[in-house]
Amino acid sequence: MENSKRRFLKGTCALLAGATGATLLTTVNAAESAKAEAEIKYAMVHDESKCIGCRACEVACREVNEVPEGVSRIEILQTGPFGEYPNQFYHFSRKSCQHCEDAPCVNVCPTGAAFIDKETGIVSVDAWKCVGCQYCIAACPYQVRFINPVTHAADKCDFCRETNLAQGKQPACVAACPTKALVFGNLKDSTSEIVQVLRANPTQRAKVALGTRPKLFRILAKSGEVVL
Ligand code: SF4
Ligand code: SF4
Ligand code: SF4
């Protein structure tokens, strides 16, 4: 009886010590995170008035990030044709992770596999921690996550964090776009191209009313701007 009581107390103390340690760690991490976030916050713009729907971005993403057939980190959605022949036009929009600042996928993940990189603000996945429960897939309001059939972990656009970005290159989709419809960069750098583009153009983000604070911006095409 006494032994089990002692074990209980020992366990409780260990838990409390762990909790205090975790609180301290959280506080330190929060301070570090605030410092890091003050320096880099990556985002992307898709200028739909420049997009011709060639899908070079999809191909480049699959190749660079070894995304298996049947799933994809980026899709170019086509709507149209609009107008009367021969003056018909199409619209192309990008479907991919929005890199939410308040990311529902991260909030529901039970293992910490879905996380926001403190240094860059990129929403990413640690495949080793992922148990494939799919909570994040259900929680994402943009329906951009999937289970990678090779790794069996959740997957999605990570701004090429582990591939091109790690090598100091632009994300693969951005580099491959022949019309420069994609702009990637640091929102915290007032001299960056993305900040100039955002200042010069009216933009939209998807489902902002949900409070997710997405970092994928759209420049909408006006009627007739993309003619095939
Ligand atoms: S778009 Fe979906 S997957 Fe991407 S950060 Fe937001 S909730 Fe997560
Ligand atoms: S599938 Fe993986 S990343 Fe998604 S919530 Fe479950 S453990 Fe987290
Ligand atoms: S940023 Fe990288 S991971 Fe995301 S869609 Fe583009 S190529 Fe794919």
Instruction: Report d(CA 57, CA 50) in Å as an integer.
Output: 13
pLDDT of residue 83: 86
Distance of alpha carbon 156 from alpha carbon 13, whole angstroms: 40
Between CA 206 and CA 92 the distance in angstroms is 15
Whose tokens are 């929102």? That residue is 187
Q: Could you tell me how far CA 115 lies from the centroid of its own chain?
A: 10
Nearest protein CA to atom 6 of ligand 1, as residue: 100
Give backbone dihedrals phi and psi of 174, rounded to 5 degrees, phi first: -65, -45
Which pLDDT belongs to residue 86?
A: 84
Q: CB under 6 Å to ligand 2: residues?
A: 108-109, 111, 113-114, 125, 130-136, 154
Segment 55-71 shows an average pLDDT of 98
Tens of pLDDT, residue by residue over 100-109, are: 999 999 999 9
Domain ranges of the chain: 1-38, 41-219
Gap from CA of 48 to ligand 1 centroid (Å): 21
218: pLDDT confidence band, cut at 50, 70 and 90?
very high
Instruction: Report whether residue 145 contacts ligand 1, using a CB cutoff of 6 Å.
Output: yes
Has residue 42 got a pLDDT over 70? yes
Residue 29 pLDDT:
54
Helix (H) or strand (E) holding 189: none
pLDDT at 62 over 70: yes
pLDDT band at 225 (very low <50, low <70, confident <90, very high): low
Structure tokens at 158: 């990570």
176-211 per-position pLDDT tens digit: 999 999 999 999 999 999 999 999 999 999 999 999
Fold classified for 41-219: Alpha-Beta Plaits (3.30.70)
